[in-house]
Amino acid sequence: MKNTNKISILNLEKPVLIAGPCSAETEIQVMQTAKQIAERFPNAIFRAGVWKPRTRPNAFEGVGEPALKWLQRAKEETGLPVSTEVATAEHVELALKYGVDLLWVGARSTVNPFSVQEIANALRGVDIPVLIKNPVHPDLQLWVGAVERIAGAGVKEIGLIHRGFHSPTTSAFRNKPTWELAIEMKRQFPDLPMICDPSHICGNTELIPLVAQKALDLDMSGLMLETHIHPDLAWSDAKQQVTPEHLQQIIGNLKARTAEVADETGKNALSELRENINKLDTDLLQMLSERMQVARKIGEFKKNNGVTVLQVARWDEVLNTRISAGEMLGLGKDFVTRLYSLIHRESIDIQNQLMNS
Ligand code: PEP
Ligand code: MN
């Protein structure tokens, strides 16, 4: 089976599945993994890292050009389109020479505008889909900038990959999902498909189903999942790779969702609930506005009486009583704490401005 059609990430049936090893290691590993994926998912896109950005030197840094021949063979024999990460102009040139169908910019490149621009320049006049991973650091502007640079080079089909963000605090994840950043990126680029990469978010295989389902629930366009015939023996990212069989089980257990409600009754029920939310939000904003007006009056009083803006004991009392009240109303402690921190900060800002006016 030979695949000669150009792939279009915008026209692939959702959810898109990109599966394959973290790294192309040997011809046998690439061929066996690709075949086992193709048997189970004939519409998948095969992935394999050919050049690997490793944090420390002397780790396995990818096979390089010879691995591109294996990808070419995998594509010819399975019919799956193939994809790889590019980080330099030379990578782009070689990937194109060997007929790679889709490229992605890695998280360590997205943080570096020089790298992204070099890749963009190499892509000028080339018709190939490019996926852009979020930067390692939780900085949305770097991600936006990378999209602008690649789009600026005339690349027509751009997609995004959400692979989680580095965080200084330890968590169950290798890279914190920080879903709100992915959602904001989707808001800013509603026409770009976003693929979730649970493998790099989780760093292990146990949490993958949970993250993959959450991605589908957030209406992401597909999943990138690192898949290896012998994950334990993988030369990179061994802990987070699944076997093709395990992949089938994970995908089989996912619940598909659609952004649109199909039937009229469902549509009406949803719009009624949304109307309800709209009304509550109007009331909420009205009350917040009134609360800030009272905060302003308190600020005037403090100014006229030479009292400090911040009184820690009062803030502590407000926070604790609101947390207890919230808990009785079924609102989580974390949520109420974050909400009141925001409200309190705004009140303090209003009063500070008054003091200095
Ligand atoms: C990869 O996909 O193998 C990879 C290196 O990912 P990231 O750029 O997300 O770290
Ligand atoms: Mn990897």
Res 5: pLDDT: 64
Please determine, for residue 1, whether its predicted confidence score (pLDDT) is greater than 50: no
Look at ligand 1, atom 6, and give the residue with the nearest C-alpha: 106
Q: What is the pTM of this model?
A: 0.85
Position 357 confidence tier, pLDDT thresholds 50, 70, 90: confident
DSSP string, 327-355: HHTT--HHHHHHHHHHHHHHHHHHHHHHH
Please determine, for residue 280, whether its predicted confidence score (pLDDT) is greater than 50: yes
Instruction: Tell me which of 23, 85, 196 to substitute to probe ligand 1's pocket, judged by most ligand atoms within 8 Å of the beta carbon.
Output: 85
Determine the Cα–Cα distance for residues 117 and 237; give it in Å rounded to an integer. Answer: 28
Give the chain's mean pLDDT: 95
CATH 3.20.20.70 residue ranges for the chain: 16-253
Res 213: pLDDT: 97
List CB contacts of 65: < 8 A, sequence separation 6 or more. Answer: 50, 94
**Ligand 1 centroid distance, CA of 200 (Å):** 7
Q: Does residue 106 have its Cβ closer than 6 Å to ligand 1?
A: yes
229-237: long-range contacts, CB 8 A cutoff, minimum separation 24: 229/29, 229/32, 229/33, 229/36, 230/29, 231/205, 234/21, 234/22, 234/23, 234/25, 235/23, 235/25, 235/60, 236/22, 236/23, 236/49, 236/52, 236/54, 236/59, 236/60, 237/22, 237/23, 237/199, 237/200
Q: In this structure, what token pair is assigned to residue 292?
A: 């800030």
For residues 202-230, average pLDDT: 97
CATH-assigned architecture of domain 16-253: Alpha-Beta Barrel (3.20)
Q: Does residue 105 have its Cβ closer than 6 Å to ligand 1?
A: no
Closest ligand 1 atom, residue 22 Cα: 3
Res 267: pLDDT: 87
For residues 267-294, average pLDDT: 95
CATH 1.20.59.10 residue ranges for the chain: 264-355
Look at ligand 1, atom 3, and give the residue with the nearest C-alpha: 22
Q: Please give the radius of gyration of the chain, using alpha carbons only, rounded to the nearest integer.
A: 25
For residues 282-294, average pLDDT: 97
Task: Please indicate whether residue 122 or residue 57 has the higher confidence score (pLDDT).
Answer: 122
Q: Classify domain 264-355 at the CATH class level.
A: mainly alpha
Q: Does residue 200 have its Cβ closer than 6 Å to ligand 1?
A: yes
Query: pLDDT tens digits, residue range 166-202?
Result: 999 989 999 999 999 999 999 999 999 999 999 999 9
Q: Report whether 298 contacts 351 (CB < 8 A).
A: yes
Closest ligand 1 atom, residue 224 Cα: 2
Return residues with CB closer than 5 A to ligand 2 (ion). 22, 237
Position 11 confidence tier, pLDDT thresholds 50, 70, 90: confident
Res 2: pLDDT: 42
**Ligand 1 centroid distance, CA of 40 (Å):** 24
**Ligand 1 centroid distance, CA of 115 (Å):** 15
**Ligand 2 centroid distance, CA of 292 (Å):** 49
